[in-house]
Amino acid sequence: MEKTSFTRRYWLLIAILLAFVLGIVVGYALTLAIPEAAARSDINNWLKAFGDIFVRLIRIIIPVLIFFTIAAATSSIANARKLGIILLWMLILYIGTSILAAFWGLLGGLVFQPGSAVRLKPPPGYTPPKPPSGVDILLSFFQTDFNALLAVGGSMTMIIFAIILGVAAVIFMGERGRTVARFLELGSDLSVSVVRVIMYYAPVAVFCYSAWLISQYGPQMLQAYGSFLLVQYGFTIFHFIVIYSIIVALGGLNPITYFKYQLTPFIIAFTTRSSAVALPYNMEASKKMGVPDEVYKITLPIGATVNMDGTALYQALSALFIAQLYGIPLTPAHYGLVLFAATVGSVATAAIPGGGTVMLAFVFSVVGLPLEGIGIMWVIDAFADAIRTAINCSGDNACTILITKLTGYKLIKPESPKTP
Ligand code: ASP
């Protein structure tokens, strides 16, 4: 590929990476130029404010994005009722593997404590969450009134409302329901496009936040980020190699064949950081592995939006990381919420770069963590997103192999390369 088209394709990623490095350099230079921490506070406030703008924009779009993506996905799933058995196994496997992945994130956070190197001050006005009771958890799924659905903290209730609306449109509105489904899909595309527009501001936010973090909290912050990425990459690659080998072998395919054909979609997903972009490559790989058209043509497009093991792992680990950075104690009840929120959050995440970090608004609000944590996670998102996206799309293909077997289909022997 020539240099210009490479730069054009990845300019946002490059800009974010440069902004990250530049931010660290500027933040460090500030600590040298103005050694007195109090004297830097004005500059720090401005830097943080320009980062906060980004988080605020994301918070505005979040309820709209959740509503449309979930309602659109529900209406499209309900449309495919005749394929109930495929869908049933698909949901069991997709959700089961995501819960497992979220568990690795939780375990990694608990064992390696990547956020304990630094102690940040919780944002003003933040009160530590009380562990919720069973009744609180039950009622938290249902909002008291429509207005409250729009609050970022009401994401879960919005998801339930969106599912009810999607099902209502398809089951009770006949032909007209299809028009509603189409409208929901357009709304989903529109909200993803709005996120894309906001992403143009991401390099500015990453620069300001990384400069602010280093200037405010010193270079130990780099150590915390390094530990986070090490734990995230370690557990994610473990899930990819060990868990997917088991799933694929249970489906009757040699894991080596799976890894061989999965390499291309893996690299595409790693570099573009979008499961949606990697989808055509994933479908091609599935065909090469011998999955019949009628199976992968359903499981992979739905999987691209619904099944995100890498994201579930990342979101659970991020919740622990932020709690550790702010010194917020979490109880076993909170760990349950982390697992739950990361699994649901990964389902609701859009298959675009940074989608999983946008959806941290949901995870943090369910667990009761400060939403400022999203800004902290944005600083390293380019790195964290690459591996989680690669695993998101690889998981769809691993589950598809097993679904093929469980639904009574057979893997077609891969064609020899010479066959026309
Ligand atoms: N970029 C991811 C994907 O497309 C989603 C995420 O940000 O977690 O799969």
> What percent of the chain clears pLDDT 70, i.e. is strictly above it?
89
**Alpha carbon of 305 to ligand 1 centroid (Å):** 9
pLDDT band at 417 (very low <50, low <70, confident <90, very high): very low
Buried b (16+ CB within 10 A) or exposed e, 213-243: bbbbbeeebbebbebbeebbeebbeebbeeb
Q: Is 166 in the pocket of ligand 1 (CB under 6 A)?
A: no
Q: What is the pLDDT of residue 2?
A: 46
| Residue 222 counted as domain residue | yes
> Quick check: CB of 354 below 6 Å from ligand 1?
yes
Q: What distance in angstroms lies between residue 300's CA and the mean position of ligand 1's atoms?
A: 15
Cα 419 to chain center, whole Å? Answer: 40
Looking at the CA of residue 358, tell me the nearest atom of ligand 1: 7
Q: Is the CB of 389 under 6 A from ligand 1?
A: yes
pLDDT at 1 exceeding the cut of 60: no
Q: How far apart are CA 166 and CA 161, in angstroms?
A: 9
Measured torsion, CA atoms of residues 96, 100, 105, 110, in degrees rounded to the nearest 10: 130
Q: Is residue 103 within 8 Å of residue 339, measured between CB atoms? A: yes
**Distance between CA 202 and CA 211 in Å, rounded?**
14
- Mean pLDDT value of segment 16-40: 88
Does 404 contact ligand 1 (Cβ within 6 A)? no
Nearest CA to ligand 1 atom 8: 356
48 C-beta closer than 6 A to ligand 1 = no
Ligand 1 atom with the smallest distance to the CA of 311 is 8
Q: Is residue 415 part of a domain?
A: no
Task: Say if ligand 1 is within 6 A of residue 307 CB.
Answer: no
Q: Which of 321, 310, 323, 335 shows the shortest CA–CA distance to 385?
A: 310
> CB of 143 closer than 6 A to ligand 1?
no
% of residues, the chain, pLDDT over 90: 34
For ligand 1, atom 6, name the residue with the nearest CA: 356
CA atoms within a 13 Å half-sphere pointing along the CA-CB vector of 399: 31
Contact 304, 394 (CB under 8 A): no
Q: What is the model's pLDDT at position 415?
A: 52
| CB distance 315 to ligand 1 below 6 Å | no
Q: Which helix (H) or strand (E) holds 85?
A: helix 84-112
Residue 168 counted as domain residue: yes
Tell me, yes or no, whether 3 lies in a domain.
no
Mean of per-residue pLDDT scores for the chain: 84
Tokens of 29: 């230079």
Question: Which CATH number fits the domain that encloses residue 42?
Answer: 1.10.3860.10
Ligand 1 pocket residue status of 352, Cβ below 6 Å: yes
Give, for 133, the enclosing helix (H) or strand (E). none
**Residue 243: alpha-carbon gap to chain centroid:** 19
pLDDT of the residue at 261: 92
Query: For ligand 1, is residue 311 a contact (CB within 6 Å)?
Result: yes
Is the residue at 58 inside a domain? yes
Confidence of residue 315 (pLDDT cuts 50, 70, 90): very high
Query: Quick check: 58 pLDDT over 80?
Result: no
Tell me how far the alpha carbon of residue 293 lies from the centroid of ligand 1, in angstroms. Answer: 25
Q: What is the tally of structural domains in the chain? A: 1
**pLDDT, tens only, 331-349:** 898 999 999 999 988 987 8
d(CA 63, CA 55): 14
Of ligand 1's listed atoms, the one at least distance from the Cα of 381 is 7
The reply to whether ligand 1 has any atom less than 6 angstroms from the CB of 303 is: no
Q: Does residue 8 form part of some domain?
A: no
- In short, whether 353's Cβ falls inside 6 Å of ligand 1 is yes
Q: How many whole angstroms from 298 Cα to the centroid of ligand 1? A: 20
Domain containing 318: what range?
15-406
Any domain includes 417:
no
State pTM to two decimals: 0.73
Cα 264 to averaged position of ligand 1 atoms, centre (Å): 17
C-beta atoms surrounding 73 within 10 Å: 21
Which atom of ligand 1 is nearest the CA belonging to 346? 8
- Tell me how far the alpha carbon of residue 304 lies from the centroid of ligand 1, in angstroms: 9
C-alpha 151 to ligand 1 mean position (Å): 23
- Tell me if 418 is assigned to some domain: no
